[in-house]
Each structure stands twice: as C-alpha cells, then as structure tokens.
Chains A and B, each alone.
Chain A
C-alpha cells in the first residue's frame, strides 16, 4: 500500500530546458514573408494572412472590422454563398478577425485540400466586391447583436474600462454605437480594401503538415500580388485616459450580478519590467491557484471566477482584474482585490508559493509549446511585436530565477490602488 500522506517525488518544472522551435522562413516574389512550422501528428494545416488593416488605420468607426468581415462575402466571380459552399465542400474553415493593428484571414483545412483552396483565398485578396446587400445584412445583424450584448453587464464593463484607460477616440478604447453601423457605406469599405488589403502589407504564418510543394504553391497564388509595395502610413493616436477613477454604472436594475473591472495602464512587452510582472500577475490572479481566486472564490464564494491579466497591445497596455460577482458582494470583492494588492506590497511571499507559480508557469509553457499551432502562435506574437526569441528565452529565465524581493518590488511599483480605475456595472 503506498504512503498516501506523502507526495511522490517530482522533477521541478523549472529544471526543464525549454526550447522554442524556430520556424522556417521564406519570401514570396513580392517580398511577403512566410513563417512555417512544419510539424504535427495530423494531416492538417493552418495558414494566417495578416494584414496591417486593424482599426488603428480606419478614419471612422467599424470600417476595419466591416471590411474584414465582408471580405469573403462576394467577389467578381463568386457570390457569398458560392464562396461558403466551396470552403465547406473541402471541409475547410475560412475565418477572419479584426484587431487593433492587424486584420487576419485564417484558413484551416486538411493538408491534401490546400491546393484546391489557395486560389479561392487569392481571389478574396484581389477581387472582393463588397455587395450593398451583404453590407445591409451585416449592418442589421450587427446592430441587433449589439443590442443584445448591451444587456450584459460584462460586455458593458469591458467597453467602458477600455474607454477609461485609453480614451473613447483611441483605437484601444473606441467601441461601436448603433449609429456607427448606420454610417457604413460600401464605397468606404472598397476604399479601405484597396489600400489595406489589395495593395496592403501582408505577413503569412503557417503551421501543420505542409505539402512538399508548399513554397511553390504559396508563391504561385500570392507571390505576384501587389502586397508590400506601397508604404502604409501609420497614424498617431494619443492616449487620453479618463480623469475620474471610480465608476458605478447601473445597466440592469434587476440584475443579480455585477461585472467588476479594476485596471491600470501598463507598458508593452518591450518594457524591462514586463517579464517580471508576468510572474507577479500569475501569482496575483493569473491562474486557478492565484491569491485572488483562493480568497474571493475558494474562501469567500463571491464569484464563479476571478482573474487578472496583462492586456497586450502593440503600442501600450493595461493590467486588469476582471470578475462577475453577486450584486450584493461587488463592493466586498473590490475591497478584497485591494487587500490582496496590499498583501503583495507589504507581506513576504512564501518561497513555496513562488516555486509553485514557477513550476506551474514552466509546466504550462511546456504544454503550450506542444504542437505546431501553438508554436506558430508564439512566433506570430513575437514577430508582430517586433521581438524575437530572445524575448521568449528572457521570459523563461525570469520565471526560473525571479526572487521574492523582485516580486515585492514590482508589487510596490505597480499595485497601488490609487493608480487603478475601478468600475462596477450592475
């Protein structure tokens, strides 16, 4: 019979050497770079076409996201239905997503179907037409979706906290109003498409089991497009944070829960404190074993879950705490968050707790680097942020070596309640 009172011997995860497999990189004839992680156990592939076409570049609200969404809703040769039917017939997924700096088109398919699908993707970048009727449906559906979302406290809280941090005119703080959808017109979408897609700046990330002729296939389909030829002007946007720090918003007088957001501005990945704060954040509220979760969920039962995280934009970020808590305990929840900040500023962190966090971080990193899609996601992040794998290895070293004193210093530098915005939406 095993002795159950004693934990089995473990290898500390921090003893693992962690390696971020390098991608292969090749360039198409037009200079577009293609990053590839050719690996995996299943005959599947994922390709992302990343354009400098996020809302950073738009002149009025929602142009970037509408252009991105409707890029597959009709070309000179195919209707939206024909495009969707074609993609579905080959068992593929063609998704698009719009972020602040970038807008992305993503293809997932079985490796053997790639050759049939790439010409269609090319067609989207050359011949999308943005039919009036498709915009009409998009506008109608998005407005209704927004109306539903506005009933949700967490949705409202998410919008408002970004506004407080960055300002309502900044790409990171702006949000959609009904009138923004009404104002969309196809001419503006076509113009945006011409500048930021047809003649835009593109980088490609691919992963999975790639066919042997992959480079040739990609060059045939995308190497002769006028990407990366004309300069793209990157506009300046000034961050304009709110003056008032504490906010209470009533969204649903009969709601049984409130959405709590507590956040402060925080620098980008390029700041020397970033890797250290990543570790501190984990300990504070970044995983299930964090202090916030242990106190506010596991001890008090105020919430189903509470997390803190770093909001990572390319030009500036934030440190945020987020939860939904019972309506009558929202105030108590906010107070407990501040109590935990104080404990980290003033108290000593137990070495066992630090080791737990380090091992957890390294262990999940090992798991996260499992498989080609995860590896390419890391690289995409590095490349888009103007970083390379030295950032990754520096982060790993920081996790392995950070001390209690360094963590405490970070807490004293950043976890000061007066620097946080506090928002409760009930």
Chain B
C-alpha cells in the first residue's frame, strides 16, 4: 500500500507526496504529458531530442547536472510514445536543490545553439547504436508503419528518420517547449524522507510563479479498425530468420486491459508459457519466442516475436504459432494457469515497489492515467479477470483480420 497526499498549485501543477522515512534520500519526479505521439509527422523524434535538451541549461542555471551532483544527487530521464519523465534522487536535506533545478527548467530553457548542435549529434549516435548498427534493429520502424496508418504510434520515439533530428531548428525547440513543458501539463511527485508541508512550501516557492501555460488538448487521429490481414517480407543481413506479428488491442485505460495483459503472460511470459513450451522446447522451431504488449495509453499493439531455428521453414513456424492461438481462442484456459499469471503479477508489483524511485515514477504514471490511487487498487482488477474474459479477448484480438505479420529473412 503506497500512501500519498495530493494538492494542486494555482497554476495547475499537480503535486503528489509519498513519505518514506526509512530512507535518507528524496526523489523528485517530473512527468510531462507529452510523447512521440504528439509530434508532427514531418518532425518525428522531437520529444526525445527535447529530453536531451532539457539538460543543456535553463534560463537561470547554466548547467543542470553539476549542481545536482554537488548536492549528492543523480538523475535520468526517458521518453516514450506517450510521455516524458524526469527523475532525480538526492540526500533529503538537499531536496531544495532539486526544486531549484526542476522549476527553473520548467520556467524556461536557455535554448543554447551549442546544446542543440551537440545533442542532435548525440541522438543520431543513439539512433545508430540502437537501430542501425544492430541486427534486427529496424524491425519496429517497419512494424509500426505496417500496423498504424493514421495514429502517430506509427513512428518510434527515436524518430522516423535521422534527417528529422538532424534538421531540428531552435525555433521548433522553443515552440515545443512553450506548448508542452508547462505546469498544467505536468505532474510532480516527491517521495522519500520528506513531509507534505515541506513539499507544499517548496512547491509554492519554486513552481508557484511559473505561468500556467495552456492546457494541451490532445486530438490525435484515431486508428481505423483493421479489417484485413497485412503481411510484409524483408531481407536483411542477419544470421537467422525471424517472425514478428502484432494485433491491435485496447488502451491502457480500458477495462479489458487487465485480461489482455494476463493473456500475453499465458502465451509468452516466461519459461512455463505456452509459446515457449510448445515452440521452443517441444517442437524446437524457435530459439526464443515472446508475447507482450506495449501498454500504450492509446489503443496499441499486442505482439509475438520469435527467432527461428536455422533451417526451419518460416511458413511452418508461423502455422505453429497460429495453432497455439487457435487453441487459446477455442478452449477455456485452465483455472490454475490463470492463477499462475495472477500470482506472477502480484509478485512483479511487489518487487517494483521496493525502491522509492520506482514508487515515485509509478505514482506519476498512475496520476497521468487519472488517479495515483490506481497504484494500490489495480491488482484487484487483475484478480477479477476470469477464464471467460481470456477467451473473449483472445477471440476479439487474435484474429487474422486484425493482424500484421513481418517475415524478417536472412539474405541468401
């Protein structure tokens, strides 16, 4: 049970406080309600590039990292298709340093030309390191474009192509900042050895004067329902063939999310999962196979990916996947199997909540979903899933007409 208090500043900044006096540390987590889905399709990769620029100095503080490190702190950030999250941890006596730094970069950035020039290069190297210079690195670029025709989930957070990042201009950076990086589009979570009164006073002092900004009202194109199977084949310099399949699924906020999540665990969540046991161990068609979903805030994808044992015919491998899907669509899952994945979920949640930093991040995420309290009540929703729900979801989601299949074949 993670306890917290919540208040809102006059400028619309939501603040959540979670006290844990067993640690000498404090965590400050700032979540901005902006991700790659909010980008212009001609300027993809921008939310993530922007995350880098947030460390290039703010209006009154030339450098973010140094003063934080002097105060014994460390920090990081990440960008997803849905959101951008910044977090730092430092000894709780130095909490005010984090308020000073985080509030100044919410007030305004320095918008330095040098920082933009360098970070464009850094992000290009990141792009190369993760998506070009690695076998199978371009899979999700291809798959997203195959699966999404309208919704901006069709590009990855790193961007559609290097040139979008390379061409980013300072003016674009400014526009993006003042549109999204405002108190009314942010959630601040402070956790650890702190008190609500202390956090309230510091929040008023450092964030209170920042202009509210305009609430960003998201109106993204809705992905039309997919009605026929999509397939694609590519050839690349990789040692082994691989297969990737995706199906459209509900959003993170949908009631069916929990059953869908458990369904992926039953199919591909570890060593006793159905796909692994049948396709890797018994039939030995794949060297590894996974089933998972992206947990995205808008309706997203459920995925299965597997790398084939060399020499195995890819059609045969795909048929074997389909046979497992056929089983789960037509027969009711055993109660013990459902209980297994529910137990696993309970355990995952308990381990995730061990560190203050994770608790702070989760609170911010659940608050973005609508209510931080979901963090404490969500397991109940997993417990309420029935074997009938699993069958219903399997039939609704895992249909060929809702599927996208990519054969990623070794050249020669």
Q: Do the two shown chains form a genuine complex with each other? A: yes
Pair A301/B118 contact, Cβ less than 8 Å = yes
Q: Contact mask A1-41 → B, CB, 8 Å, 1/0?
A: 11011011111110010000000000000000000000011
Residues of A within 8 A of B100 (CB): 2, 4, 7-8
Pair A363/B72 contact, Cβ less than 8 Å = yes
* Cβ of B74 to closest chain A Cβ, rounded Å: 6
Residues of A within 8 A of B280 (CB): 137, 141
Pair A148/B354 contact, Cβ less than 8 Å = no
Question: Taking the complex as formed, is B61 at the interface, i.e. its CB lies under 8 A from any CB of chain A?
Answer: yes
Which chain A residues in 321-353 approach chain B with CB under 8 Å? 324-326
> Smallest CB-CB separation from B89: which chain A residue?
A367
Other-chain residue from A11, A108, A302 in contact with B351 (beta carbon distance below 8 A): A108
Stretch at the interface among B126-134, B173-181, B222-230, B388-396: B126-134
Pair A153/B60 contact, Cβ less than 8 Å = no
Question: Taking the complex as formed, is A88 at the interface, i.e. its CB lies under 8 A from any CB of chain B?
Answer: yes
Q: Count of A-B contacts with CB under 8 A?
A: 211
Pair B272/A144 contact, Cβ less than 8 Å = no
Pair B351/A84 contact, Cβ less than 8 Å = no
Residues of A within 8 A of B284 (CB): 137, 140
Stretch at the interface among A237-245, A292-300, A402-410: A292-300
Question: Taking the complex as formed, is A256 at the interface, i.e. its CB lies under 8 A from any CB of chain B?
Answer: yes
Pair A303/B60 contact, Cβ less than 8 Å = no
Report Cα–Cα, A356/B125, bound state, in Å: 28
Question: Taking the complex as formed, is A414 at the interface, i.e. its CB lies under 8 A from any CB of chain B?
Answer: no
Known A-B contacts A8-B97, A367-B74; the reply to A90 vs B343 at CB < 8 A is yes
Pair B91/A366 contact, Cβ less than 8 Å = yes
> Smallest CB-CB separation from B71: which chain A residue?
A10
> Smallest CB-CB separation from B339: which chain A residue?
A89
Known A-B contacts A41-B22, A303-B122; the reply to A363 vs B347 at CB < 8 A is no
Main SS class of interface, B: helix
Pair A16/B353 contact, Cβ less than 8 Å = no
Q: Contact mask B336-359 → A, CB, 8 Å, 1/0?
A: 100111011111101101111000
Report Cα–Cα, A2/B277, bound state, in Å: 61
Pair B122/A4 contact, Cβ less than 8 Å = no
Pair B343/A325 contact, Cβ less than 8 Å = no
Known A-B contacts A42-B353, A256-B132, A370-B355; the reply to A144 vs B309 at CB < 8 A is yes
Known A-B contacts A363-B90, A371-B354; the reply to A137 vs B347 at CB < 8 A is no
Known A-B contacts A5-B60, A144-B307, A324-B129; the reply to A301 vs B97 at CB < 8 A is no
Question: Taking the complex as formed, is A109 at the interface, i.e. its CB lies under 8 A from any CB of chain B?
Answer: yes
Pair B343/A360 contact, Cβ less than 8 Å = no
Question: Taking the complex as formed, is A355 at the interface, i.e. its CB lies under 8 A from any CB of chain B?
Answer: yes
* Cβ of A31 to closest chain B Cβ, rounded Å: 32
Residues of B within 8 A of A288 (CB): 65, 74
Report Cα–Cα, A81/B25, bound state, in Å: 43
Residues of B near any A CB (own CB < 8 A): 20, 22-25, 59-61, 65-67, 69-74, 89-91, 93-94, 96-97, 99-100, 104, 107, 117-126, 128-129, 132-136, 205-206, 209, 237-240, 270-272, 277, 280-281, 284, 287-288, 307, 309-310, 336, 339-341, 343-348, 350-351, 353-356
Supply 18 A–B pairs (Cβ within 8 Å), ascending by A. A1-B209, A7-B70, A8-B97, A10-B97, A11-B91, A42-B351, A43-B350, A87-B272, A89-B339, A89-B340, A140-B284, A144-B287, A148-B238, A297-B122, A301-B122, A357-B69, A359-B70, A360-B72
Q: A44-B347, A304-B122, A370-B25 are in contact. List 12 more A-B contacts (CB 8 A).
A: A8-B97, A13-B72, A88-B341, A151-B237, A304-B126, A326-B124, A356-B70, A359-B70, A363-B74, A366-B72, A370-B356, A371-B354
